[in-house]
Structure 1
Amino acid sequence: MPPASCPCGLAESYTACCGRFHEGGLAAPTAELLMRSRYSAFAVGDTPYLLRTWHPDTRPRRLSLDPRQEWTRLEILARTGGGLLHTEGTVEFRAHYRHHGRDGFLEENSRFRRDGGHWVYLDAEA
């Protein structure tokens, strides 16, 4: 069952925030909102959404999420482009998690691109 508050860290409820994108009726209007919704998809285990919002050139055939990994907090560190009038953008973030009783984090600078008018995750910059 999805959480009442949104895992992405914004003030809205999950349903009003990232849940509306996960349901498929709306597309995230900016690269940052897509990144936040993808983080939330990891947190709630929504694999179909992750695959649907992955660029077709870099999308894996399958994706397995570890149900024992709990995503606990998201920090947005920086962003470039990715707005309503852009075709590309990046979002640098730190995603905190708990796995096997240990806390950790993943830090990444993700690249996003518009594909067919919708933002999609392309890949991560090294």
Structure 2
Amino acid sequence: MCARAGITEDTPVPPGGVIGRDPDGRLNGRLIDNALPLVERLVPAPDLAERIDGLRLAGGYAATGIGTVRDAAVTPDDYAALLAARAAGAPSTRVRVLISALGLTSAAQVEDLLDVMEDWRSRNDAGLWVWG
């Protein structure tokens, strides 16, 4: 994947990221934190049906006794997928989401996100709840 992404020995390490190397200094294929976007752009985004199927599979937590999960990095698109999944009967566990503001760089962007979130915070659904 690193070769397909154009990552070479000379690729600069993004701030806050790690491009893994073996003890001899050669690339080992490991990307950490802010280096992940170097390859994430190559992975096709799942469509809504695939996301719902994935959430249905993840809902298997309930069978292990886990009744609630928290996700602290939910985008507005992720939340829309969670709403669609709830409407389709998945996931079977309760989900508590924290809407991510990562990447927002201005007060106006934060205000826009808060405006979008306002309706979500007042939803009365014990199965899907915004906690922050």
Q: Is TM > 0.5 for Structure 1 vs Structure 2?
A: no
So what's the TM-score if we normalise by structure 1?
Answer: 0.28
Q: Which has the larger share of helix?
A: 2
The answer to which structure, 1 or 2, has the higher relative contact order (CA under 8 A, 6+ apart) is 1
Q: Which has the larger share of strand?
A: 1
So what's the TM-score if we normalise by structure 2?
Answer: 0.28
